[in-house]
Amino acid sequence: MSPPAYPLLIVEDDAALRLMLCGIGESMGFMTHPTGTRDEALLWLGDYNKPCLMLLDLGLPPYPQDTREGLALLHHVQHQAIPAKTIVLSGQDYESATLSAIRAGAFDFIAKPATTEQIGAALSRALLFMDKEVNMRGQGLSRLQLDVRLGDGLKAAREDAEERLVRSVLRETSFNIHESARRLGIKRENVYYFLKKFGIERQQILPDAANTVD
Q: Residue 213: pLDDT band by 50, 70, 90 thresholds?
A: very low
- Torsion on CA atoms 18, 19, 25, 31, rounded to nearest 10: 100
Domain shared by 41 and 81, yes or no: yes
Domain boundary among 117, 138, 159: 138
C-beta separation of 70 from 90 below 8 A: yes
Domain boundary among 94, 111, 138: 138
Domain shared by 114 and 12, yes or no: yes
Which residues, in sequence order, are CB contacts of 172 under 8 Å at separation 6+? 183
pLDDT of residue 116: 93
**pTM passes above 0.75:** no
Q: Does residue 214 lie within any of the structural domains? A: no
Calculate what percentage of the chain has a pLDDT beyond 70: 82
Q: 86 phi and psi, to 5 degrees?
A: -105, 125
Tell me how far apart the alpha carbons of residues 187 and 185 are, in angstroms, rounded to a whole number: 7
Query: 110 lies in which domain range?
Result: 8-138
Domain shared by 49 and 100, yes or no: yes
Give me the CATH number covering residue 185.
1.10.10
Q: From residue 157, give the alpha-carbon distance in Å to each of 76, 80, 89, 161, 195.
A: 22, 23, 17, 6, 18
User: What average pLDDT does this structure show over 21-48?
Assistant: 95
CB-based burial label for 136 (10 Å; 0-12, 13-18, 19+): middle
Domain shared by 97 and 178, yes or no: no
pLDDT digits (tens, 9 = 90+) for 10-28: 999 999 999 999 999 999 9
Which among 66, 89, 73, 126 is positioned nearest to 12, based on CA atoms? 89
**CA triple 118-120-121, angle to 5 deg:** 65
Tell me how far apart the alpha carbons of residues 208 and 180 are, in angstroms, rounded to a whole number: 19
pLDDT of residue 71: 93
Q: Does residue 143 lie within any of the structural domains? A: no
Domain shared by 127 and 182, yes or no: no
Q: Residue 207: pLDDT band by 50, 70, 90 thresholds?
A: confident
Domain shared by 87 and 130, yes or no: yes
Comparing 90 with 54, which gets the higher pLDDT? 54
Q: Residue 168: pLDDT band by 50, 70, 90 thresholds?
A: confident
Q: Residue 175: pLDDT band by 50, 70, 90 thresholds?
A: very high
pLDDT of residue 212: 47
Task: With a cut of 70, say whether residue 203 has pLDDT above it.
Answer: yes
Domain shared by 118 and 179, yes or no: no
Q: Does residue 197 lie within any of the structural domains? A: yes
Q: 8 phi and psi, to 5 degrees?
A: -115, 115
pLDDT digits (tens, 9 = 90+) for 96-154: 777 788 778 888 888 888 899 989 988 988 888 888 777 766 665 445 444 333 344 55
pLDDT of residue 125: 85
Which among 137, 143, 128 is positioned nearest to 186, based on CA atoms? 128
Give me the CATH number covering residue 92.
3.40.50.2300
User: What average pLDDT does this structure show over 31-42?
Assistant: 96
Task: With a cut of 70, say whether residue 32 has pLDDT above it.
Answer: yes
Task: With a cut of 50, say whether residue 209 has pLDDT above it.
Answer: yes
Sheet arrangement for strand 32-35: 32-35, 8-11, 52-57, 84-90, 108-111
pLDDT of residue 211: 46
Domain shared by 24 and 113, yes or no: yes
